[in-house]
Amino acid sequence: MDTKKYFYRNIIFSKQGQTISAIDIHNPNKAREEFDPWFGIVLQLADGQHNIDQLIQFMTTQYKGAPPHNLAETILSVVQRMADSRLIVLTEEPTELPYYLTMPYELLDIERAKKEIAADRVNLN
């Protein structure tokens, strides 16, 4: 995997305490898919402005003492699985996220987010 690639989230997510889950903005009461903690960490950090090397460096600093010997491999595996599932997208350049992907659902102006999603759908067609 090219660790110089940038990564950004491709889904709206919810953060309740330490729990990160996918959420349907049009049906927020629908059952949510909770993510494994590693997936949740990567999803939260997938802002389009950092590359995978920076993710690994950041995660390394989160451990007191030495990080696990397989930390980089774990992160690369998580990133690859998330990219394969289209939860995140890998790019060559930094990417600005649309408003509705910039923060957890609980912090969004929901009406603004819905309008921007609708506008983006029109622009794609």
Give mean pLDDT, residues 10-39: 92
pLDDT at 28: 87
Share of the chain above pLDDT 70, in %: 98
Band (pLDDT 50/70/90 cuts) for residue 124 is low
Higher pLDDT, 29 or 11: 11
Structural domain includes residue 1: no
If DSSP states are collapsed to H, E and C, what string results for the chain?
CCCCCEEEECCCEEEECCEEEECCCCCCCCCCEECCHHHHHHHHHCEEEEEHHHHHHHHHHCCCCCCCCCHHHHHHHHHHHHHHCCCEEEECCCCCCCHHHCCCHHHCCHHHHHHHHHHHHHHHC
State which residues form the domain around 106. 6-124
Number of domains comprising the chain:
1
Decide if 107 is inside a domain. Answer: yes
72 assigned to some structural domain: yes
Average confidence score pLDDT of the chain? 94
In a domain, 56, yes or no: yes
Q: Which of 79, 62, 107 is nearest to 8 (CA)?
A: 79
pTM: 0.89
Tell whether 32 is covered by a domain. Answer: yes
Angle at 36 between CA 46 and CA 14, to 5 degrees: 60
Q: Which residue has the higher pLDDT, 31 or 114?
A: 114
Is the separation of the CB atoms in 92 and 6 below 8 Å?
Answer: yes
Only one residue has tokens 């997208």, namely: 89
**What pLDDT is attached to residue 125?**
55
